[in-house]
Amino acid sequence: MSASRETPAQSPPTGRPVAASGSAPSGAAGFDPATARPVLEAPEIDRALTRIAHEIVERAKGAGDVVLLGIPRRGVPLARRLAERLARIEGREVPVGSLDITMYRDDLRMRPTRAPERTSIPPVGVDGRLVVLVDDVLFSGRTIRAALDALGDIGRPRAVQLAVLVDRGHRELPIRADYVGKNLPTSLRETVKVLLDEHDGRDAVLIGDRG
Amino acid sequence: MKRHLISAADLSVEDAILILDTAEEMSQVASRPIKKLPTLRGRTVVNLFFEDSTRTRTSFELAAKRLSADVINFSAKGSSVSKGESLKDTALTLQAMGADAVVIRHSASGAPHRLAHSGWIHGSVLNAGDGTHEHPTQALLDAFTMRRRLAGAPDGGPVPHGEAGDGTGRDLAGRRVAIVGDVLHSRVVRSNVHLLTTLGAEVTLVAPPTLLPIGVESWPCRVSYDLDEVLPKSDAVMMLRVQRERMNAAFFPTEREYSRRYGLNAERVARLPEHAIVMHPGPMNRGMEITAEVADSARSTIVEQVTNGVSVRMAALYLLLGGADLAASDSGR
C-alpha cells in the first residue's frame, strides 16, 4: 500500500496564512528557478501512474463503478492519464471529469479573486459510484476539503478516494491520500512544482526553495 | 477587475471575457440538484431599487442567494426615500448596516457613479440601470447569449437553433448585431454598444430619427433608418421595447406606423441569415415591436436571456466580492 504517511519535516509554524494551496503554485510564485532540482522525471511519473491505476483496480475489485475527477489544473491531465491506464487494464472506458474547487475554497476572502476553472461531470454522474479525486500535490489538505464540499453539491458517491502524484506532508486537516505516486518529505521553505506535458511541455516534479 | 461595475465602457476585453467565462461556469450550478455555492457566505448584498424592476431585482436576488450571500431588498416605495431622504443618507444607512455590495437602480443617470465614488459606502457598487445611461449586466447577459449561440460550436461558429453552445474564452469578433427601436430612452443600448464593440462585434442601430439621441454619430457604431436593409447582414437582431410610458412627445405618427417600419415579424425574420438569433431584453409589447410568432420561435433567445442573466450576475457578484477586500490598497477607482 502506497498510502503510508511520511512524517512532516517540521510542524507548520503558527501564524502561517491558511491560504496554503494544496496544489503546487503553477505560476511559480515564490519559486526560485536557480535552486529547482528534479525529484521525479517522466519515466518515474509514468511508472507511478501505472502503479496507481493497478492499485485502484485492486482496491475497487475491478473498476466497474469508478469515476475519476481531476482537480484543475494539473489534476485533470493526471486523471485522464489514469483513465487511459484503467481502460487498458479493464478493457473498457472509465468516466473521467474535472472538479473545480475555486468556489469552495476557505481562503477566498484572503486573496485576490481567482477565476473559476472548468467543472465537467461525466454523464453517468457520481451518485452511487466510487469517485477517485486526482490532484498533483497533496499539501495542507484544504484543497481536498473544498473538493469534498464541491462533490457533495453534485451528488452522493458510494465512496470517495484520493490519488495524488506527490504527497509533500504538512497537513492542516485530517485528510490522507489512498494512492500516492511519491511521498516527498519537504520543509515549508521548499516549494514543490509539478510539470506536465499537457500544460508545461515536459513531465517532471521539481523541488526548490521559495524565492 | 475593478471594485465597481458602473459602466460597460469601463470593462476591458479581458475583464469582459473573464466575466463571461465565469458566467459559463456559474451556469452549470443551475442544472444541479443543489443550486447553491458557499462562495459569498456571510456577505451582505443590498438591492437598492429607486425604480421598480421586478425582473432585474429578482435576477440579482437569485444570483446573490445562489452564492449564499444575505440579500436585503430596499425599494424606494414605502421607504424613507418617499419621505424625502437623500441618496447620501440612504447610503450612510446601508454602510452602517454593513452592506458589502449595493445593487442600485435609479431613475437619475449617474446615481451609481455618485454612490461609488463619494466615499459614503465602502462596498462594491453594481449599476442595475441608471436613467437613460447604462445597464451593464444586461449588456453582459446579451453578450453571453450571443457568444453561446453565435460562437458556441466547437469550431467557434454558430450552434443550431435550440441548442446551447459553450463559447468559453471567445470574443464576438466580426459578429454583426442590429439593435432596433427606441435608442433614445434605452440604457441597454449604451451598455451594449460599448461592450459589443469591446468584444469585437459591429453594431448597427436602427431607429426612427426621432428616437436617436443627440451625439449618436460619435458612438462606435453605425446608424440606419431602414430595418429591411440591415437584416440580411445581421447575426443577431435585438429588439428594444417601445417605452409607452416615455412616449410623451410625437416620436412617431402611430403605433401601427412604427410597427410597420420597425416591428419584427415572420416575413422580416425570413430575411435573416439561417443562424441569426432574435433577442429582446423584455418586457415585450407583443404585436408592437415584435410579433408573438417571432417571440416564440426557435430563433428567439428571450427566455434564455433571463436564465443567462442569473449566471452573469453571479459572475459579476463573485468577481467583485469573492476575493480579498482590497479596499485598503485600492481607492476604488
How much is the ipTM here? 0.84
Closest by alpha carbon to B131, among B111, B151, B109? B109
Three-state DSSP class for B313? helix
pLDDT for the residue numbered B332:
37
Q: Which residues of A touch B323 (CB under 8 A)?
A: 108-109, 111-114
**How far apart are the C-alpha atoms of A192 and B279, rounded to whole Å?**
50
Cα dist. A61→A4, A132, A159, A195 in Å? 21, 14, 14, 31
Taking the C-alpha atoms of residue B294 and residue A192, their distance in angstroms, rounded to an integer, is 58
Q: How far is B44 from chain A (nearest CA, A)?
A: 14
A104 contacts on B by Cβ (under 8 Å): 37-39
pLDDT in tens, A124-143: 999 999 999 999 999 999 99
In this complex, the residue of B21, B39, B320 whose CB is nearest that of residue A108 is: B39
Whether the CB-CB separation of B107 and B51 falls below 8 Å is answered with yes
Strand ordering across the sheet containing A130-138: A96-98, A66-70, A130-138, A159-167, A179-183
The pLDDT of A64-90, averaged and rounded, is 96
Cell of B299: 430563433
Rounded-to-integer distance, Cα A31 and Cα A193, Å? 8
Q: Which pLDDT value is given to residue A130?
A: 97
Whether residue B101 contacts residue B123, with contact meaning beta carbons closer than 8 Å, is answered with yes
Q: Domain A43-187: state its class.
A: alpha beta
Q: What global pTM score does this model have?
A: 0.90
Three cell numbers, residue A37: 532540482
Question: Angle B124-A116-B127 (CA atoms, 0-180°, nearest 5)?
Answer: 25
User: How far is residue B13's CA from residue B8's CA, in Å, rounded to a whole number?
Assistant: 10
* Domain boundaries along the sequence of chain A: 43-187
Strand residues in B18-92 grouped as ranges (E): 44-49, 70-75
Q: What angle do CA A98, B161, B281 make, to 5 degrees?
A: 90
> In this complex, do B25 and A109 lie within 8 Å of one another by their Cβ atoms?
no
Name the residue among A206, A208, A204, A207 with its Cα closest to residue A43: A204
Does A156 touch chain B if contact means CB atoms closer than 8 Å? no
pLDDT tens-digit profile of B179-237?
Answer: 999 999 999 999 999 999 999 999 999 999 999 999 999 999 999 999 999 999 999 99
Q: Would you say B38 and B160 are in contact if contact means Cβ atoms under 8 Å apart? A: no
In chain A, residues with a C-beta closer than 8 Å to the C-beta of B18 are 115
Give the residue ranges of DSSP H helices in chain A: 42-60, 75-90, 142-154, 197-200
* Residue B109: Cβ within 10 Å count: 15
Q: Indicate the pLDDT class of residue B173, thresholds 50, 70 and 90.
A: very high
- Checking if the pLDDT of B284 tops 70, the result is yes
| Of residues A74 and B282, more confidently modeled | A74
CB contact under 8 A, A111 and B1: no
Residue A1's pLDDT band, with cuts at 50, 70 and 90, is very low
For residue A80, the SS3 value is helix
**A179 vs A19 pLDDT, higher one:** A179
Q: What is the mean pLDDT of chain B?
A: 92
DSSP A208: E
The C-alpha torsion from B228 through B232 and B238 to B244, rounded to 10°, is: 10
pLDDT of residue B162: 85
**Percent of chain B clearing pLDDT 90 (strictly above):** 81
Of A129-143, B106-120, B253-267, where does the model show the most confidence? A129-143
**How many Å apart are CA B124 and CA A200, to the nearest integer?**
37
